[in-house]
Amino acid sequence: MTTSAKSDNEIHNNKPKELLVIRPICEMLGRIGRMEQVLGDCLTRLEEEGVRVTLVEKVSELEDIPMPGKKVIFAICLSESGVNLEYYRLLEAFRLHPHCLDGSVGGIIVDGASDLYTKALARRMAFSANSSGCTFPGKPLVEATGTLANFRVLSQITGKSVEEVYALQVENLMRKVLDFNLTDAGWRHPYDTPSAAPLHIAAIHSGSRKTSNTLLLWDMIRRNLPKDTVVEEVSLRNGSIQDCRGCTFETCRHFGEKEDCFYGGIMTEKVFPAILRSDAVMLISPNYNDALSANLTAMVNRLTALFRTHDFSKKKIYSLVVSGYSGGDIVSEQILGAFCFNKNFILPGRFAIVETANDPGAILNVPGIETKARTFARHMW
């Protein structure tokens, strides 16, 4: 797999437009027809408009393709068992080449044979590609379950069949990836001059500074941010935060229009304003039983009210995940699913720093942790 870097002009001014479609071949021939039809129709239209399309089906075909700076669609078809063996070879390639997608922008299409497995596979794809440098715009996933039942609501709203909705979503995603400008999203080459505009970060956590390794890691990163960085740190630990009550769409939108929520409290007093003012959200999350903590989960659920009435597509999500034992990747995938797939936040390349530390303060003894923190901080600005 070729990982040589491109010049800034090649990365930022990709003219004519080019699209790399990676469709890991699925040997279950009966399952590829639907995706082939949808992809084929869309790619034909793009090529007629002058877009240069490259389609690959095997990881070995990527050996001679420079990956950095590419606009990429990952199109994955699943068997009845939810498996695509070439997909796993693709994950292996990304994990073995951690810079192969630097400066790239991606979108994901998953077509399943059942109503299970599609989203879990998409999260793992996004996390692995992101760890190799791929940025994902907000809502980068088109998920086609076996029955296409997940498109029924859009079908009712638009008056189109679920098959037509599927095809339209695929085309919209491809155009979003092609049009997404990394420089507008704050991306720069590692050797570029930092942006003159100060970064505004909403840092949200629910930990205790007496015991939290995750907060210690955040402190290390924060010390390495430019002095003019604006940080609004919100702790959910000392305030009572109730989970979403499941209001109707109309009720949720009504409160969201007022930058409010049915339950009010710390969410509307501190979290909502901090997020609205921010360029990026930093979610500081220890691994609690291979999941986000209850307070952070409630925060994500309650954020729906604001999402219904505000555009998050220019905001970025970053996260720090520290596990006592293992499973940091699982939590990171939950975060990218909630904020990028669901709430429309940009997922910058290498959005998460994931570490393991057991006893209080143990994060300070992780080999090279100061360098990792400094690198991550520079990556943010």
For the segment 124-159, what is each residue's pLDDT rounded down to a tens digit? 999 999 999 999 999 999 999 999 999 999 999 999
pLDDT in the model for residue 240 = 66
| Angle at which helices 85-96 and 118-131 cross, to 10° | 20
User: Would you state the structure tokens that stand for residue 227, as one six-digit string?
Assistant: 């002095």
CA 118 to CA 273: how far, in whole Å? 34
Q: Which residues are paired to 107 by β-bridges?
A: 73
pLDDT in the model for residue 183 = 78
Instruction: List C-alpha distances in Å: 157 to 37, 152, 165.
Output: 24, 9, 10
What proportions of the chain, in percent to the nearest 5, are helix, strand and coil?
40, 20, 40
- This prediction has a pTM of 0.91
Q: Three-state DSSP class for 206? A: coil
User: Would you state the structure tokens that stand for residue 223, as one six-digit string?
Assistant: 């010390």
320: how many CB neighbours lie within 10 A of its CB?
29
Q: Where are the alpha helices (DSSP H) in 189-293?
A: 213-223, 249-257, 266, 272-277
Q: What is the DSSP letter of 315?
A: -
Rg from Cα positions in the chain: 21
The residue ranges of the chain whose pLDDT is under 70 are 2-15, 27-32, 184-196, 238-240, 242-249, 251-264
335: how many CB neighbours lie within 10 A of its CB?
26
**37: which residues sit within 8 A by CB, 6+ positions away?**
none
CA 53 to CA 49: how far, in whole Å? 11
User: Would you state the structure tokens that stand for residue 343, as one six-digit string?
Assistant: 């709430």
CA 224 to CA 89: how far, in whole Å? 37
User: Would you state the structure tokens that stand for residue 320, as one six-digit string?
Assistant: 């720090």
pLDDT in the model for residue 369 = 97
72: how many CB neighbours lie within 10 A of its CB?
21
Which among 176, 170, 152, 219 has a CA at the least distance from the CA of 361?
A: 219
| Angle at which helices 162-179 and 33-48 cross, to 10° | 50
CA 345 to CA 106: how far, in whole Å? 14
pLDDT in the model for residue 340 = 98
